[in-house]
Structure 1
């Protein structure tokens, strides 16, 4: 591939990556769905090259499965997979939060406060439905969590956390479709924000762990209820 072709293909890969990733996380492309390059090319108006490269990148992120002879599939969901995601999130996000509290400056504090305020405003506008199914809430929820951890000096840690957060988001949305009662998290987010801004490292890390593990319990319950209905 010459340099001009690479320059032209690069942005198209990003477009395909963003659109497919969003569709998978939102459940528009359901778990175990076959991802045919030709069909996706037609749907997105792109050639097969950026589609195939985007699928390979999504496979690296864990939300697409690639097989040598059978092509690409949306990754399945399972209790064991989500437990593993949650376990890694606790380990990595605790570390990143302590890092951020130690290294975060005034600009970091402002970013955390701003992200929390934007999330709170959105929750006030929503009705009694599951907040995780609202795209604006999901975007602001992600922004708040990433702001909390943004002062860690490790770009590698940040990247790993972002990837795991997106994998968890697919489960949150699936859970919200099968939840018995809506859940609003603002009290948990507020306590987490105050502990972080107050530079209470251990308290903040423990609150974050409890937050992640609480989500784990609710989603496992939703997955088990859904599995029972199809048996």
Structure 2
């Protein structure tokens, strides 16, 4: 029985990963209705793990459930963007403050290594600069996770991780916004330098500005 439950949980987890990735990359667009037949074909699974995955995605804000229409991809909005950004600035700012205060040599090494890997590749795809590279996105997440990894609070880290997931679709959209040129590499370098210099206030302010710039650019998309 335990093995059966574990297998079902693994299938539901795989379905969750597949559907979330399809939403993140725009395969399913904001507001699009999600049909079980399409999702089963995407995941190669029966309806049960797909339904479990949708329940989890709905709890995390990626999808919504309408009693009459079923599941659909959550729409993007300026109000949600501002709410997520402000909450990230608050929670991740505090996590960074604690990490800069508590971080040891191992933390410094993690941050330096993560930044080195991030800085070695461009954000946009070759020939398609308005489309985010998947490996850049993974390294970007790893760098921000490394920055706050020494905060000492597993609960705070979990909250920051969930907020990062919620911000993901907006972050991807920011790459394609016309006129959105900015020195992202320089912003990350400033975060690195201030953190390693143990400039607590400066690091937190740099993080707030980093997230704020993304939100400000996207505000032009929602309110041209």
CA shift for structure 1 position 128? 8.1
State how far apart, in whole Å, the 1-side matches of 2:143 and 2:27 are: 24
CA shift for structure 1 position 5? 2.1
Cα 1:118–1:125 shift into 2, 3 Å: farther
Aligned Cα RMSD in Å? 2.0
Partner of 1:195: 194
Partner of 1:229: none
Partner of 2:54: 55
State how far apart, in whole Å, the 1-side matches of 2:175 and 2:44 are: 31
What whole-Å deviation, never above 9, does each CA across 1:182-208 have from its counterpart, x for those lacking one?
Answer: 444011100111111111111100110
How many residue pairs get matched? 224
Cα 1:13–1:81 shift into 2, 3 Å: same
Partner of 2:213: 214
Cα 1:206–1:124 shift into 2, 3 Å: closer
TM-score by length of 1: 0.90
CA shift for structure 1 position 35? 1.3
State how far apart, in whole Å, the 1-side matches of 2:123 and 2:168 are: 21
State how far apart, in whole Å, the 2-side matches of 1:125 and 1:81 are: 25
Deviates more, 1:125-134 or 1:77-86: 125-134
Deviation above 6 Å: which 4+ runs of structure 1?
none
What whole-Å deviation, never above 9, does each CA across 1:69-120 have from its counterpart, x for those lacking one?
Answer: 4321110001111001101001101111011112222111111101100111
State how far apart, in whole Å, the 1-side matches of 2:123 and 2:69 are: 46
Q: Secondary structure at the match of 1:179?
A: coil
